[in-house]
Amino acid sequence: MTNTRPSPITTSADDGDARAPIALRIPEACRLSGLSRSGLYRAWHAGEIVLLKVGTATLVDAASLRAHLARLPRIEPRRRAA
């Protein structure tokens, strides 16, 4: 049986990954980023990510999603007192 699920739109990326997606459907963006659906839409309302409309499909611009994740604060490990 073949996989009938559509793949993300891909193109050659600057980071050298020839199959890096340039746009993702909402569920795929949530799965890859770890954000919830509502978290993804909150980021869009805040202007942090770009959503695209193609017919009835809503796509997430992958570059804006990567940039949003890169802007999130890092968690540093707590150091124990010696």
When pLDDT is cut at 50, 70 and 90, the band that residue 4 belongs to is: very low
Summarised one tens digit per residue, pLDDT across range 38-52 is 999 999 999 999 999
CA–CA gap between residue 29 and residue 80 (Å, rounded): 37
Which of the following CATH numbers is that of domain 17-71: 3.30.70, 1.10.10, 1.10.3470, 2.60.40? 1.10.10
Q: What is the DSSP letter of 80?
A: P
Summarised one tens digit per residue, pLDDT across range 6-16 is 445 554 445 55
β-sheet with 57-61: strand ranges across? 9-10, 21-25, 57-61, 51-54
Across the chain, how many H-helices and E-strands are there?
A: 3, 4
